[in-house]
Each structure stands twice: as structure tokens, then as C-alpha cells.
Amino acid sequence: MEFVRLLLVFLHLLGMGMLIAMVFVQRREGLEAPVNKGWLHGLGLQLLTGVALMGLAPLTHQDYNHIKLGVKLLVLVVIGVLVMMNLRKPASPKWLLPALSGLVVFNVGLAVFWS
């Protein structure tokens, strides 16, 4: 079971890397360019692997802080809603990319500094 947890953590970290990469992809496309669908792929991976890690906690003998995971889930939902709201628009508001970037980095900070 430890291998399954490590595999999920591995994919979870790749998902984080993908979201950070999206910040630069979106920046290169332009601050007001349409939202790139890659955000949804990264968010989907984070949601699946994060919820799987949480759900398997009794089997993997992990004692996660559920308030922290709840806040991380909430932040992910906010990012997802912002992306979905702007997905079909021909141009993004200028504040969107800084907001998405800040929220992703905020979740990494939560993961690392809140034990």
C-alpha cells in the first residue's frame, strides 16, 4: 500500500508542476489571452490524486490534517471556478493570471507549511 501512496504523491507533485508550468504558458500566450485548457488537466490531476490520498489514508496509515485538506480542496475549487468562468471568453481579465498563480502557490505553501 505504501507504493500506492508514493505513486499518488508522485502524480500529485507532477500535477503541481503542471499547474506551475501553466502559469508560464499562460504568461507567454499573453495576460489577456483566452484561458488555456491545460489548467483543467492539472486541476483534475490534483483533485483525483489528492482525494485518493485522503480516501486511502486509513489503508496507508496516514493521519492527515482534515482542516488543511478541506482548505486545499476549497482553494482548488476556487481556481477551477475562475478557470471555468473564463474558459469560453475570447479574452481573459488582466487580474486572472495573477489570481490563478497566487492561489496555486498558496496551496503549495499550505501543503508544505501547515502540518
Among 35, 39, 72, 83, the residue binding ligand HEM under the rule CB under 6 A is 72
62 vs 59: CA distance, rounded Å = 8
- DSSP result, 92-113: --TTHHHHHHHHHHHHHHHHHH
82 binds ligand HEM (CB under 6 A): no
45 binds ligand HEM (CB under 6 A): no
Residue carrying C-alpha cell 492561489? 103
Q: To the nearest whole angstrom, how small is the minimum distance from the Cβ of residue 21 to ligand HEM?
A: 12
Q: In terms of CB distance, is 32 or 98 closer to ligand HEM?
A: 98
Among 19, 35, 97, 100, the residue binding ligand HEM under the rule CB under 6 A is 19
- Among residues 115, 81, 112, which one has the least CA distance to residue 96? 81
67 binds ligand HEM (CB under 6 A): no
62 binds ligand HEM (CB under 6 A): yes
66-86 and 96-113 are packed helices; what angle lies between their axes, rounded to 10 degrees? 170
Q: In terms of CB distance, is 54 or 87 closer to ligand HEM?
A: 54
